[in-house]
Structure 1
């Protein structure tokens, strides 16, 4: 089953209706189904009316209890994964205001205790200097002044020692010069400084590091409950536990090959000196 962005909103209703219809075909009441799959009757009711989006594990338990054929189980499980995914395209973000996106990110960061960022192409706003932030938004066809201010405000959370942050940056991300060389020196120095905070781990994946999987896209994992993925045209949000676990597995694989601590800072120093040579 392909992931069609236009399908995501409808998929939740489709899933609810499908599970309700399958229960009726099996001749089971909501209460009997609930007992078979060790759920409450109220949860079954909320799932079937669309008030609750079930996880893939919940759906598998229900389908197993209904004894559906294997091919149908696979199809409906795929629908459940789509129902646990959200899509927002860039044009929608521009229309409602990029600053509102910053408010959403601040809420996600406030609710999480452990945050992991994989950055294959650019430096994220939490780590960026004001000049880098402004340059990263230069392509946006809307006014970005409020967005810049909110991005910089969000950086205060880095000093909350009740939270832990791990940032993995490729050499490409560190060296992608969207600002002049002199400003890149300041940006790289900021990375080195932040890497010394007690609640921040900053890892570097150097070019030439043997990796079995290529760095396809930027993603962030909040605790073990939610993963967001950035693309050129929009953003995907994964809430299904299996999707989140897969992103965590990929993150751990990259982290095992990254430079940290003094080794990472030595590499950042090399990068800063190379930018110094350019101006």
Structure 2
């Protein structure tokens, strides 16, 4: 769970603890007895170890005479849930809706900062490369197969590379040039695509060589949208970072990763070497 989600859960728990004490329940055991819950559940909720459900909130407020707080507390619970979205929940209807959901964010963002240590970033992928990544997603999460629709929506996202005054700062680790997605022909097309997008005026593509001195560990991939939002992906979930202090940490991480990157001719040389590897 992200730090922001954990902090929000702890704050909610402290608020509920205050309601319990104000209602005259001096201990969690006494409150558990009146609600029919396990004492451990009361403790976990109050200490931010477990998120309260909407039904839990209603019961808590009913027993503490704070019904006027229900709507606000339920809104808080829903916000906490949104900070950490399991991929299964996001992708239950297929991969295309998640791609569609990204479009308004791209529309509003002026400066992008992208870090991918192992794969090519989606917005500069070829259709063939994207199709293979979606095939793996569909198989792994066992979701409806809407690969073609998802690819089409991802390709539509590339329009923002050419529209408006957006600036794209993209960092890939050298490993992304070698991670075999779809086989040699797909990879050859993808590497050619990287060479092509390097000429775009508003896109800065840096590559971090595998032997480059690192100033921070590579970590997970992340995408920064202006200074307002960071999306971080793991195998189980995607979480949103919106707290300014945390966003600043990702900005600092990006700057440290950038210090290890090469651009221009040295970056093209790394891509050419990866193409030669395919030929070998």
Q: TM-score, normalised by structure 1?
A: 0.71
Give the alignment of 1:129-144 within 5 angstroms. Answer: 129-139=126-136, 140=138, 141=142, 142-143=144-145, 144=147
2:62 corresponds to which residue?
none
Shift of 1:268: 1.1
Conservation of the 8 A alpha-carbon contact between 1:194 and 1:200: yes
- Aligned residue among 194, 200, 205 for 2:203: 200
Q: Does 2:251 align with 1:248?
A: yes
Deviations 1:223-272 (A, max 9, x none): 01110100011101010001111001000111111011222112111211
Distance 2:238 2:14 in 1: 25
Aligned positions, number = 223
Give the alignment of 1:28-39 within 5 angstroms. Answer: none
Distance 2:2 2:166 in 1: 33
Shift of 1:182: 2.2
Conservation of the 8 A alpha-carbon contact between 2:2 and 2:241: no
Quick one: structure 1 residues 242 and 20, their matched pair in 2 at CA, closer, same or farther if it must change by over 3 Å?
farther
Quick one: structure 1 residues 241 and 190, their matched pair in 2 at CA, closer, same or farther if it must change by over 3 Å?
same
2:99 corresponds to which residue?
102
- Aligned residue among 174, 189, 192 for 1:171: 174
Quick one: structure 1 residues 9 and 87, their matched pair in 2 at CA, closer, same or farther if it must change by over 3 Å?
farther
Q: 233-242 or 84-93: which moved more? A: 84-93
Q: Which runs of 5+ in 2 are unaligned?
A: 23-68
1:185 corresponds to which residue?
188
1:11 corresponds to which residue?
9
Q: TM-score, normalised by structure 2?
A: 0.71
Distance 2:185 2:148 in 1: 23
Distance 2:184 2:73 in 1: 53
Shift of 1:178: 1.1
Conservation of the 8 A alpha-carbon contact between 1:218 and 1:230: yes
Deviations 1:115-152 (A, max 9, x none): 01100111121111111001111121321221111111
Q: 203-212 or 11-20: which moved more? A: 11-20
Conservation of the 8 A alpha-carbon contact between 2:91 and 2:98: no
**Moved beyond 6 Å, runs of 4+:** 7-10, 18-21
Quick one: structure 1 residues 126 and 204, their matched pair in 2 at CA, closer, same or farther if it must change by over 3 Å?
same
RMSD: 3.1
- Aligned residue among 134, 158, 162 for 2:161: 158
1:35 corresponds to which residue?
none
